[in-house]
Amino acid sequence: TDSMANDSSELALAGLITDTAQITWIPEGKIKKPQPTKTGKPPGSLQLTLENLTAPNKDDQSASSSVSLILALPRPLQLGRILTMIAQLGVNTIVLCGSKKVPKDYFGSHLFRKPGELRRHLVEGLCQAGDVRLPNIIVAKS
């Protein structure tokens, strides 16, 4: 009955939207670092907390299909390939950000010097998907 109560509470939250979320790592056992164990399994779990849940506006069709993607900047060659696939999936906003292991010179690649290249990859994906909505790209270096 406990799992049935969890299922019904999850169903009550289905379809609600929020712009505020917090992800927390919860360590388990003696391990206090968020690194894989010797067996390759994670040493803990992630808890996702959603705040300020609201029902989407029924008149606004774009709110129900709005998908955003946060992506650590991959190598420039891979970025071109990935953008095509992201556009095919119907992602509305793409946030490209730096991370500890992303070299700073990736932000100076030909894809960013010539914005037409980014657009070309996105349009190619849209053509394959039959979509007409070009995703917004936000570049966050830090």
pLDDT recorded at residue 64: 45
Residue ranges, the chain, pLDDT below 70: 1-18, 29-43, 56-65, 142
Please report the pLDDT score of residue 75 as a whole number: 92
What pLDDT is attached to residue 21?
74
SS (H, E, C) the chain: CHHHHHHHHHHHHCCCECCEEEEEEEECCCCCCCCCCCCCCCCEEEEEEEECCECCCCCCHHHHCCCEEEEECCCHHHHHHHHHHHHHCCCCEEEEECCCCCCHHHHHCHHHHCHHHHHHHHHHHHHHHCCCCCCEEEEECC
pTM of the predicted model over 0.85: no
Cα–Cα dist 70/123, whole Å: 20
pLDDT score at 10: 57
52 φψ region: left (φ > 0), alpha (ψ -120 to 50), beta (else): left
The owner of tokens 């008149």 is 59
Q: What is the pLDDT of residues 66-84, one digit of tens each?
A: 788 999 999 999 999 999 9
For position 31, what pLDDT does the model report? 61
pLDDT at 66: 78
